[in-house]
């Protein structure tokens, strides 16, 4: 029922993206000693792109089955990260400090999104209780 609310679905999408990113970063940390391992990350979560996919707007639309549909962006697409300035002798490019900083950033982002999620439901609860 609440998934139909745009702000709720956007917040849930952001939290899902952050959770997936934490999994990918954890894999990087776990493979810190694997020879020739290249760290990975998720494609950056762009609010404008995600909002455009969730809110109907005027834009490109396939009106005929023979038309090419506009591509949908996948916010959870895993990509290889850019080459870092450090690598070990065995070719491993994982910099633990960098990965830990990204994990901290992801944790903070998740807490902000969870707080926003909580406030949205408090507002809904308040609105629903006033109607009685």
How many Cα atoms sit within 13 Å of 19 on the Cβ side? 8
Q: What is the pLDDT of residue 6?
A: 73
Q: How many other C-beta atoms lie within 10 A of the C-beta of residue 57? A: 9
Tell me which residue of 20, 22, 13 sits closest to 108, measured CA to CA: 22
Going residue by residue through the chain (132 aa), what tens digit of pLDDT does each one get? 555 667 788 888 889 999 999 999 999 999 999 998 989 998 887 666 665 655 555 456 667 777 666 555 555 566 666 555 566 777 788 889 999 999 999 999 999 999 988 998 888 888 888 755
**Which two tokens mark 100?**
């830990």
Q: What is the pLDDT of residue 86?
A: 63
Q: What is the pLDDT of residue 74?
A: 57
Q: What is the pLDDT of residue 109?
A: 92
């Amino acid at each position: 029922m609440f998934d139909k609310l745009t702000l709720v679905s956007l917040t849930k999408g952001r939290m899902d993206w952050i959770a997936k990113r934490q999994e990918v970063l954890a894999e990087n940390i776990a493979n810190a000693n694997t020879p020739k391992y290249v760290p990975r990350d998720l494609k950056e979560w762009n609010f404008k792109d995600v909002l455009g996919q969730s809110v109907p707007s005027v834009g490109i639309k396939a009106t005929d089955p023979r038309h090419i549909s506009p591509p949908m962006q996948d916010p959870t697409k895993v990509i290889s990260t850019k080459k870092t300035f450090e690598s070990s002798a065995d070719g491993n490019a994982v910099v633990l400090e960098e990965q830990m900083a990204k994990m901290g950033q992801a944790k903070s982002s998740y807490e902000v999104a969870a707080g926003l999620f909580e406030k949205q439901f408090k507002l809904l609860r308040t609105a629903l209780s006033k109607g009685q």
